Structure 1
Amino acid sequence: MSPKKKKTHMPVRLNILFFVVFLLFSALILRLGVVQIVQGEEYQRKIERTVNVIAKNDAPRGIMYDRYGNVVVDNELVLSVTYTSRNTSNEEKLRVAKRLNDFIDVDPSSITERDKKDYWIITRPEEARTLVSREEMVELENDIMKIYRLQLDRITDRHLAEITDEEMEVLAIKREFDRGYAHSPQRVKVGVTYEEAARVLEHLNDLPGVDILRDSKRKYVYGSTFSDFFGSVGQIRREQIDHYLTKGYDRSDYVGTSHIESQYEDVLRGKKAVVEHILDGSRKIVGAPKEKLGERGKDLVLSVDMGLQQEVERIVAEEVQRFKDSRSFIDHGSAYIVLMDPYTGDVLSMAGYDTSKPSGNHDLGVVHDAFVMGSAIKGATVLAGFQSDYAHPGKVFHDRPIQIGNETMSSIGRRSLGRINDLTALERSSNVYMFEIAMAFGNYHYGTKRGGGFNDRTKGFNQMRYYFNQFGLGVRTGIDLDRESTGFNGGVQQLGNLLHFSIGQFDTYTPMQMAQYVSTIANGGYRIQPRLVREIREPSTVENELGNVIKQFSPNILNRVDMTDEHIERVQEGFRLVVHGNQGTARGLASKSYQPAGKTGTAQVKVNGLNANNHIFVGYAPYDQPEVAFAVIVPGLHIRDNLGRPANIIAERALDTFFNMKTNRGPSDYLNEFDEFGEEEDENAVETE
């Protein structure tokens, strides 16, 4: 075949190829046309059907039990009205709020003056415009915010009086609408009645954004008992939003806002139930929802004995009222007490009562309020002297009035106790014995008046505070509560102030710090972290039964004090003599079968410009095998109080109750966890300020 004939076949083949391609493109274009024009709406509906709407329902928080398995904080079902804003205008919010007000009752008492002014401007726009002249608008360059602020300033009480009672209710509802976030449900009213919920549900079509939520709120089985320490649950504060969002919370979630609820938020929080719906183009649900069940939060077993707590709160309230009725207080009356297991750190009971409070309850004062504690801290002073070789067991000092500058300082008035050793110093509460130790820390030799070493004042104060810190005095105890006070540190002052420091008349301490201090002496020198939570447990599936243990907290030893066993035992003997010695300052309790030991204190203070006393009693019982440590503080008493030692009275009644309940209850469900205690220590032994 010639080349010429071969060429004639090429155009035919190309034409066939082009024709096939043309047919394919035509078919594709035709198909696209059918999809877009004929079937476009159907496919659009299919696309719209793939829109997923996810709803999350809150799960109840974990339950709290006392140390014997009694429920103390529970949940109860409530219904809440919620509102979800989708960048809705003020006018639309007002319309919905007015309609919603027809179906629910609201309390407008929390409305502020600013809320009223904003409402007045929104609902009376014509009148609001007359508050600013045209000239002023020009002068303000039509700046909306500046004009708005000027309007606010010019709204008078006469204007606000125009707002009716019904409008106030509407305003209360809209105020809750405004507090929410876009696309996030905001609780408008928690705890609506079933009748209110039914009316709202019946009219949901006329209430865009409104819904009814199955919710839960905390139920306190023992009423107000210990309620301050349980803490509160509420909506996330604005300054904490970012923190909680990063942890997977929604803006509208309720969280623990204080104390145990806040401290154990990650544990108490439940897992939300998640319901996923598929909606079509008309926003109707397509098919069955996909549901992921929620789970109640984990439970806490507390260290507190709620039966004992109730009795202790009653005792403190009764005694404070009795002291007040007898005019023992210079101002309002108050008292505080802590009962703690000295080996585990379990807080068995703690209470405070203050007659200046509306309810009288001031339990939080145990960890928030600090006082000068007087002679009750002398055990720490003696042990500091022993460890520094400024004293030793059996060391004798001459107790007599001493002169520091223009101040005469002594133990009892201007009298002398004579030559006494460390045990007598604790039994009779010698000030001068403590002064001798403090002067040694200050390198001041009273007999020869040499005090050049005290030019370095910082050393004397810091050394003594170092030893005091080891007992928990002046540092955080570590209790599992927020906002614990460390007391007041008076800094570095003159020699006379160092002497006052040694007898508890300079720095201030909280009742909880005093309980930790005396527990450290009671257990042989180990500073134990106080705790309110003993265990974390799985949510129980059986009523009145505890779930499985997830975590059991062991006693946490913060540090071992830098003192020998011999030295600690010597101070323990001094504390025993305070109660059982012939001249002990708490010998009124010597007949008690539970054989307490401890140290009293009377601190001189000023109240309303008048001289007053704080009465303190710290200790433990029994003295040979302590089961409970205690600290009692009754501040602001008249110097010539005619009721004896109020702190001793409260301590006696509380200890009587503790040991009577222990006898009636029989062997505890919880055994002492301190059997092998003493070997493990925290390397960061002492906190310092």
Structure 2
Amino acid sequence: MAKEKRKNHIPLRLNILFFAVFILFSILILRLGYIQIVQGEEYEAMVNNEGEQTANVDAPRGLMVDRNGNTVVDNELQLTLTYTNRPGNEDEMLEVANRLTDFLDIDEDDVDDINEREWQDYWLQTREDEADQLVNEEEEADLEDDEVYQLQLDRLPEEEVMDDIDEGERETVAIWTEMMGGYNYSPHRVVRGIDEETAHALSELTHELPGIDVMRDSVRMYPYGDSFPSFFGGTGQVPEEELDRYLGEGYERTDIVGRSFLERQYESVLRGEKAEITTDSDGNESTDPGKRGNDLVLTIDMALQQEVEDIIDDNIESSSTFTEDPEAHVIMMEPDTGEILSMASYDEDVSLVMGQYEIGSTIKMATVLAGYENDVIDHGTFYEDTPINLPESQPISSWRDLGAVNDIDAIRQSSNIYMSRIAMELADYELGVSGRDWSGAEQGFDALRNHYAQFGLGIETGIDLPNEVTGENERYSTENYLMMSFGQFDTYSPMQMAQYAATMANGGERMQPTLVKEILEPAAGNDESGSVVRQNSPEVMNTVGNTDEDFERMQEGMRQVMQQGGDNGGTASDDFDGADYNPAGKTGTAQTVDDNGEEAQNQAMVAYAPHDDPEVAIGVLVPNTSASDEDSGLANSITREALDAYFEMQEDQPEPDESDDDEEIFRDPEDDEE
């Protein structure tokens, strides 16, 4: 029987293999076609991008304009020299710094700003042989590098450093210390505002000056010079202690940010969108122009601001009443909106929101209102104004014995005794009763402070500035408790005084003070403002818990302070005689001790006008005037002249005076940081 022939399976396997190869080649061809036809442009762009270089250019910050449209903070374009630091390039940095002295004019102030440690660091780096001799070999063998360095610093005589560095070399040190201040791999601004000729010369030598570059930049300009100087705020590079936060928000290490006050408070608004300049492999440039930051419309009236500053200067400089460096502070605001019209100082502007002062009898309306709210006095309650002598306190009296006074009389004539009697009632202390004690003094203390807080006294006012202080408020003693009732213990800021004055004026609504009225986006041309992005509406922070009738009595007392003359007239009636805007207010004098231990007094006033339809409220404080000087009317005089100026400007709004100084005004953010 013949054998059955075995089938050959090879052709079938080959067919399967050929088919698989065919499928794979088909997929490959389709994929190549898809890449070439559909994604060709994308990959071509990627190839081109390998030769592209992109540079980001800082966009100018948003402008600030006053309530009348005057630009009060502007930008000026400039050229800036930058240096990019790298680890291990210490010798290169010194060489570059030395070369730059041929191109840059170094001010003597820049040299004076070099601190002792920077002089020592430079000396140690440039005098290596002498530095090595400061530490012997045996010591060096047992020490780490940083310990050797510290020992060299300790043994380096200061006079040797300064004697060894000549005048020409000191310019190199000034540039070198500035270069050292940058982060690694990030361009650091070394000199701002270089002229075009210098910029051109440096640009041609960048191959000889590694790390050096020239960039377009902008600097803040202040057309009205030193008016409202501090509260615009300062700008500078990202603070090292806040670097992580800024990097997390998309900033770069070398970005310019707001470092204080309005610049800091509104950083996210004022910050612009960077321009992007892209250069392809053929050298062609394309630019995304970026966008200037949004603009702030301030509530400040710059013409009024300048006038108030002049009023303060004239009054202070014509007086010799101060026991130490003169100060004076004025804040004017709209009572119904909280918009601040003027914030002016003599000497320390920041004291307007960060200063702490006893404000004297200006507190008395709040004390009487606390008495009403806590049902310890009624409208028209009388007390006999005669001195009070208690074993727990120093003798208390008014500026003179006033006889029988009611609540309105106590404001008009400024009775300390009336306020002390209210404080006693709040503490359940009965004058002249045997077995009396002060067990209720703490509850009285809290009752007064809680009521003061309803006016913004002793708490944050809510102003749109960073890091406002609230004042010093210590715990009570019997003497301090009574003194506090007429403004001789707790301390407050001028900003709190102005908010208090506005709350009295509008009948009990504590408005949030604001310096920014609205935010505008830049117009298409980038040099003017555009449409409104956000408008800050008036915000009531709280309503004081007194009745309208309570406020009407205190407002009447304040009216009489300024408008009722005669033997028992108001304490400021002479100063406001003839004021046709019908003001209302309260004077105050606090007895203090200055920093030199000398007896002094703080002069104060809170006021508003007109009394029947308030347009403006004002807080004025003049600290540390001489307690023995008869000229005790500085606060009254400043208030009168400031209110006169305000109402005159309502009839004829003048233009503010631009600065005559043609020089650029730079501001060091560290000078006015909170």
Instruction: Quickly name the TM-score band, shorter chain normalised.
Output: 0.7 to 0.9
TM-score normalised to structure 2 length: 0.87
> What is residue 357 of structure 2 aligned with on the other side?
371
Do structure 1's residue 595 and structure 2's residue 582 form an aligned pair? yes
Give the count of matched residue pairs.
Answer: 624
Q: In 2 relative to 1, CA 79–3 (structure 1 residues): closer, same or farther, beyond 3 Å?
A: farther
> What is residue 332 of structure 1 aligned with on the other side?
325
In 2, are the aligned partners of 1:320 and 1:333 still within 8 Å (CA)? yes
**Structure 1 SS opposite 2:593:** strand
Match 1:524 to one of 500, 507, 515: 507
TM-aligned CA deviation for residue 437 of structure 1: 0.7
> What is residue 687 of structure 1 aligned with on the other side?
none
- 637-646 or 383-392: bigger deviation: 637-646
> What is residue 468 of structure 1 aligned with on the other side?
452
> What is residue 291 of structure 1 aligned with on the other side?
287
- 51-60 or 243-252: bigger deviation: 51-60
| Whole-Å separation in 1 of the counterparts to 2:349 and 2:631 | 24
- Deviating above 6 A after TM superposition, structure 1's stretches of 4 or more consecutive aligned residues are 11-18, 46-49
In 2, are the aligned partners of 1:443 and 1:451 still within 8 Å (CA)? no
Q: How does 1:557-572 map to 2 (within 5 A)?
A: 557-572=540-555
**Structure 2 SS opposite 1:464:** helix
Which has the higher relative contact order, 1 or 2, with Cα contacts under 8 A spaced 6 or more apart? 2
TM-score normalised to structure 1 length: 0.86
Q: What is the letter of the counterpart of residue 533 of structure 1? A: V
Q: In 2 relative to 1, CA 172–550 (structure 1 residues): closer, same or farther, beyond 3 Å?
A: same
In 1, are the aligned partners of 2:232 and 2:261 still within 8 Å (CA)? yes
Do structure 1's residue 640 and structure 2's residue 628 form an aligned pair? yes
**Structure 2 SS opposite 1:115:** helix
TM-aligned CA deviation for residue 500 of structure 1: 0.6
In 2, are the aligned partners of 1:596 and 1:623 still within 8 Å (CA)? yes
Q: How does 1:194-209 map to 2 (within 5 A)?
A: 194-209=196-211
Q: In 2 relative to 1, CA 386–577 (structure 1 residues): closer, same or farther, beyond 3 Å?
A: same
Q: How does 1:91-240 map to 2 (within 5 A)?
A: 91-106=91-106, 107-140=110-143, 143-156=144-157, 157-240=159-242
In 2, are the aligned partners of 1:518 and 1:630 still within 8 Å (CA)? yes
TM-aligned CA deviation for residue 644 of structure 1: 4.5
Cα displacement string for residues 250-271 of structure 1 (whole angstroms, at most 9, x for unaligned residues): 0001101000000000000110
TM-aligned CA deviation for residue 338 of structure 1: 1.0
TM-aligned CA deviation for residue 94 of structure 1: 1.9
| Whole-Å separation in 2 of the counterparts to 1:544 and 1:181 | 32
| Whole-Å separation in 2 of the counterparts to 1:9 and 1:501 | 112
**Structure 2 SS opposite 1:593:** coil
**Structure 2 SS opposite 1:127:** helix
> What is residue 578 of structure 1 aligned with on the other side?
561
**Structure 2 SS opposite 1:462:** helix
| Whole-Å separation in 2 of the counterparts to 1:584 and 1:653 | 18
**Structure 2 SS opposite 1:204:** coil
| Whole-Å separation in 1 of the counterparts to 2:493 and 2:384 | 32
In 2, are the aligned partners of 1:536 and 1:552 still within 8 Å (CA)? yes
Unaligned runs of 5+ in 2: 25-45, 655-674
| Whole-Å separation in 1 of the counterparts to 2:10 and 2:495 | 104
Q: In 2 relative to 1, CA 100–13 (structure 1 residues): closer, same or farther, beyond 3 Å?
A: same
- Identical pairs, percent: 46
| Whole-Å separation in 2 of the counterparts to 1:135 and 1:544 | 67
Q: In 2 relative to 1, CA 51–246 (structure 1 residues): closer, same or farther, beyond 3 Å?
A: farther
- 387-396 or 173-182: bigger deviation: 173-182
| Whole-Å separation in 2 of the counterparts to 1:499 and 1:3 | 131
In 2, are the aligned partners of 1:410 and 1:416 still within 8 Å (CA)? no
| Whole-Å separation in 2 of the counterparts to 1:102 and 1:626 | 63
**Structure 2 SS opposite 1:333:** coil
> What is residue 487 of structure 2 aligned with on the other side?
504
Do structure 1's residue 318 and structure 2's residue 301 form an aligned pair? no
> What is residue 32 of structure 1 aligned with on the other side?
none
Q: What is the letter of the counterpart of residue 628 of structure 1? A: V
> What is residue 418 of structure 2 aligned with on the other side?
433
| Whole-Å separation in 1 of the counterparts to 2:285 and 2:407 | 78
TM-aligned CA deviation for residue 450 of structure 1: 4.7
Match 2:405 to one of 409, 417, 420: 420
Cα displacement string for residues 203-236 of structure 1 (whole angstroms, at most 9, x for unaligned residues): 1121222111100000001000001110101111
TM-aligned CA deviation for residue 406 of structure 1: 5.8
| Whole-Å separation in 2 of the counterparts to 1:295 and 1:497 | 57
Q: In 2 relative to 1, CA 595–119 (structure 1 residues): closer, same or farther, beyond 3 Å?
A: same
Cα displacement string for residues 142-178 of structure 1 (whole angstroms, at most 9, x for unaligned residues): x211111112222222244222333322222222222
| Whole-Å separation in 1 of the counterparts to 2:161 and 2:521 | 57
- 1-10 or 257-266: bigger deviation: 1-10
**Structure 2 SS opposite 1:455:** coil
TM-aligned CA deviation for residue 341 of structure 1: 0.7
**Structure 2 SS opposite 1:485:** coil
**Structure 2 SS opposite 1:99:** helix
> What is residue 90 of structure 1 aligned with on the other side?
90
In 1, are the aligned partners of 2:387 and 2:398 still within 8 Å (CA)? no
TM-aligned CA deviation for residue 305 of structure 1: 0.5
TM-aligned CA deviation for residue 9 of structure 1: 7.4
Do structure 1's residue 306 and structure 2's residue 292 form an aligned pair? no
Cα displacement string for residues 461-481 of structure 1 (whole angstroms, at most 9, x for unaligned residues): 111100000001101111111
| Whole-Å separation in 2 of the counterparts to 1:76 and 1:449 | 75
In 2, are the aligned partners of 1:259 and 1:482 still within 8 Å (CA)? yes
Q: How does 1:47-66 map to 2 (within 5 A)?
A: 50=50, 53-66=53-66
| Whole-Å separation in 2 of the counterparts to 1:633 and 1:562 | 27
| Whole-Å separation in 1 of the counterparts to 2:465 and 2:593 | 30
In 2, are the aligned partners of 1:323 and 1:333 still within 8 Å (CA)? no
Q: In 2 relative to 1, CA 587–214 (structure 1 residues): closer, same or farther, beyond 3 Å?
A: same
Q: How does 1:384-463 map to 2 (within 5 A)?
A: 384-405=370-391, 407=393, 409-412=395-398, 415-452=400-437, 454-463=438-447
**Structure 1 SS opposite 2:152:** helix
**Structure 1 SS opposite 2:419:** helix
| Whole-Å separation in 2 of the counterparts to 1:412 and 1:15 | 119
> What is residue 658 of structure 2 aligned with on the other side?
none
| Whole-Å separation in 1 of the counterparts to 2:410 and 2:435 | 25
